[in-house]
Structure 1
Amino acid sequence: MPKRLIQRYLPDSREVRRHPWIRRFGHRLHDPNLWHLNRRSFAGGVAIGLFCALLPLPGQMVAAAALAILFRANLPTAVVLVWLTNPLTIPPVFFAAYLFGCYLLGKPPVVADLANWKALLAHFEAIWVPLLTGSLVLGTLLAGVGYVIVRFLWRWYVLRKQARRNARRTAPASRQAYAPVVRMREPKRPEQDPGPHSAPERKRAVPTVRL
């Protein structure tokens, strides 16, 4: 995948290092693998970011940074993908995770909408287990799918770029091999003007007939 395009949407490494919660990791942030962008590190950062984005807990960025350090994945990618769950997307995402957790545990849902804070607080003891279960399972599945897709797309992009480079290299040789051979005609020699010392042409004798 194009590194320049990816880096355009990632936060600057200096800004990430200066974050008040992330800079507490100290010397662990000096690992170059956390900031280097390649197929393995980027896919790992995507998987960690997607997993932590579905955690129904505070401190998702800190969890993403800790897992990126543990697995030596790209830290900016993991941190930025955490924001897939934001104040606009949290209610539908976590409500879907809650319903999925109820389905896995075989329990009926007790609330119809997680945006209703009064109902959420009143039934918190009955909600948090299905919510956490559904979030962990969905986060794991989403992380695995994201990891495989990124690895595949990165490999496909590299192979396509290499094929185009090889095609450009072989194109001039193929043109020379199949180019038509053009034979140049020799220019006509100009007729030489007989000089004064040249021998006169002999006239053919015409036979005479006597009557």
Structure 2
Amino acid sequence: MLKQIIKRFLPDHQTIKRQKALKMFGTVLHDPNLWHLNRKSASGAFGIGLFFAWWPVPFQMWLAAAFSIPLRVNLPLSVATVWITNPFTMPPMFYGAYLLGTTILGAPEQHFKFELSWGWVVQSMGTIGPAFLLGCAICSVVFALVGYFGLNAMWRYSVSEAWRKRQERYKQQQS
């Protein structure tokens, strides 16, 4: 059941392989494990995607893809999972990471006004940066582990429920 839900949202691997932008990877993308959807590949991809979703960098999808290939987990799922952080979810997620960082460092919460400029980013790394980056690092690891083990457990439960229902149907047919 869980496999069908995930497959419904993932693109066809043949379509992805034909993308001109991905030709630079050559035959690396022809590894079937990158496209196969099983418990190991899905939970690994979900963990990788959640890990990089908490990184405050603009190329999260590339990082998720770069780690998915050598670890041989589902590539589209890891890249898609990164989109948990999007323009709507980033502010509360990253603010929460900042608050976590200030709590762990014991630093006072500093009030700041966000500006979309390189100068603001450089200046804020000296003030709120350490707490923010520590919070992002902790959230990255924690959410990756929770996502990996959580999806793994959900997958196992889904398979065991399918087996149980199949056995019940078999017993009903026998009687």
Q: TM-score, normalised by structure 2?
A: 0.87
Residue 58 (structure 1) aligns with? 58
Residue 81 (structure 1) aligns with? 81
Deviation at 1:5, TM superposition (A): 2.0
Residue 37 (structure 2) aligns with? 37
Deviation at 1:10, TM superposition (A): 1.5
| Match runs of 1:12-161 below 5 Å | 12-17=12-17, 18=19, 20=21, 22-112=22-112, 115-117=114-116, 120-121=120-121, 122-161=123-162
State the distance in 1 between where 2:164 and 2:65 align: 37
Provide closer, same or farther for how the CA distance between residues 172 and 14 of structure 1 changes in structure 2, counting only shifts above 3 A: closer
Structure number with greater Rg is: 1
Q: Which amino acid aligns with 1:103?
A: T
Unaligned ranges ≥5, structure 1: 176-211
Deviation at 1:71, TM superposition (A): 1.5
SS of the residue aligned with 2:154? Answer: helix
CA contact (8 A) 1:43 1:147 kept: yes
Moved more, 91-100 or 59-68: 91-100
SS of the residue aligned with 2:136? Answer: helix
Moved more, 96-105 or 56-65: 96-105
Q: More helix by proportion, 1 or 2?
A: 2
Which structure has more relative contact order (CA 8 Å, sep 6+)? It is 2
Deviation at 1:108, TM superposition (A): 2.1
Deviation at 1:139, TM superposition (A): 1.1
Deviation at 1:23, TM superposition (A): 4.4
State the distance in 2 between where 1:63 and 1:149 align: 22
Instruction: Work out the number of aligned pairs and report it.
Output: 172
Unaligned ranges ≥5, structure 2: none
Q: TM-score, normalised by structure 1?
A: 0.73
CA contact (8 A) 1:11 1:80 kept: no
Residue 171 (structure 2) aligns with? 170
State the distance in 1 between where 2:97 and 2:14 align: 34
State the distance in 2 between where 1:163 and 1:132 align: 46
Q: Which amino acid aligns with 1:5?
A: I
Deviation at 1:112, TM superposition (A): 4.3
Deviation at 1:167, TM superposition (A): 1.5
CA contact (8 A) 1:34 1:72 kept: yes
